[in-house]
Amino acid sequence: MILLIILGVVAGLCVPLQTSINTKLGSYTKSPILSSFYSFLIGTIVLIIVNLIMNPQKLSPSFMMNQDFSYVWFTGGLLGVVFLTGNLLLLPRIGAALTVVMTVSGQIIMGIFIDQFGLFNADIHPINLERIAGVIIMLLGILLMNYKKSSDRIITTKSQHTNYWMVLGIFTGCLPPIQTAINSALRYEVQSFYFSALISFAIGTIALFILSLLLVRRIRFSFHHPDQGTIKPLYFIGGVLGVVFVTTNILLMPELGAALTLMVVIFGQMLMGLLIDHFGLFNTPKFKITARRLIGATLVFIGIVILKLF
């Protein structure tokens, strides 16, 4: 159990790194949608190689012809794209900190519902007062870690409908747990979490390719930036980090339950977010680790321990 929790934290560490790296790639593609497409594409290629090594029989025509192709084959990847697009809309309108709080709140709420009712064939983990207390403590920790004074918040687009955008944030936050649950159901249908991850990435790649053609109207980009020079190979590993994140979630959810899987992954995201902010990694603005943020991280950890125990 402890090893699985550590694995979940490591998967969570990948998310802020992936976002930061994709942002750097976006400097060259001039479009976050296009940078996400290439991130998904690289992840898909990596998973094809992994599946060729681990279970090549899954890629055979005979295996594919014998599948029912239920909704779980297509929904997981599409939900990932919707979540990504939602974040692209939210970030400039309500700021990074509030985007994190709203989407994480949605993830926690949906994770509890999936556990309580066993949605999408997930194992039932009934809610109780102790688990509710753990969630509340974790939410308080997340708020403390992400709160910034009004003068410090960076919002590039003024919005007169902040409350509506916040509701959208909670809605989009509900999608990743559903995606993980659906991908986990697909795992049992195809008898492989590697292959289910590949399907999710492939569907997401196709969807982003179509979005790039419709909205960006191109898939080409320049390998040279006037200020940053020639593109670095490092900027293409976002897809690899995404593979680690998605595959680990598929592996962990049946073992830990939806809520606990989300908590440990979110904890990893918070830790890496603190490090990126503190050191200004990837040329991001520096936000030093403060006592308030450390207290927030501690509360998040306490919330995870309570969920594990109860």
Tens digits of residue pLDDT in 82-98:
887 777 677 667 766 66
Predicted local confidence at residue 149, as pLDDT: 55
Q: What percent of the chain has pLDDT over 70?
A: 91
Assign 290 a pLDDT band (cuts: 50, 70, 90): confident
Q: Is residue 93 part of a domain?
A: yes
Predicted local confidence at residue 255, as pLDDT: 84
Predicted local confidence at residue 37, as pLDDT: 93
Q: Is residue 279 part of a domain?
A: yes
Q: Is residue 214 part of a domain?
A: yes
Predicted local confidence at residue 47, as pLDDT: 95
Q: Is residue 63 part of a domain?
A: no
Of 35-39, 117-121, 146-150, 219-223, give the lowest mean pLDDT range. Answer: 146-150
Q: Is residue 38 part of a domain?
A: yes
Of the ranges 22-26, 96-100, 138-142, 180-184, the best mean pLDDT one: 180-184
Query: Which is more confident, 280 or 28?
Result: 28
Range of the domain at 300: 2-58+68-309
Is the Cβ–Cβ distance between 209 and 15 less than 8 Å? no
pTM value > 0.85: no
Largest CA distance in the chain: 60
Total domains, the chain:
1
* Contacts for 10 with CB less than 8 Å, ≥ 6 apart: 244, 248, 268
Q: Which two tokens stand for residue 217?
A: 């109207």
CA torsion angle 175 176 182 185 (round to 10)? -150
Q: Is residue 74 part of a domain?
A: yes
Q: Is residue 294 part of a domain?
A: yes
Assign 188 a pLDDT band (cuts: 50, 70, 90): confident
Mean pLDDT of the chain, nearest integer: 83
Mean pLDDT throughout 156-161?
A: 52
Assign 107 a pLDDT band (cuts: 50, 70, 90): confident
pLDDT digits (tens, 9 = 90+) for 197-240: 999 999 999 999 999 999 999 999 989 888 888 998 888 998 89
Assign 282 a pLDDT band (cuts: 50, 70, 90): confident
pLDDT exceeds 90 at position 123: no
Predicted local confidence at residue 173, as pLDDT: 86
Mean pLDDT throughout 19-25?
A: 82
Predicted local confidence at residue 41, as pLDDT: 95
Assign 156 a pLDDT band (cuts: 50, 70, 90): very low
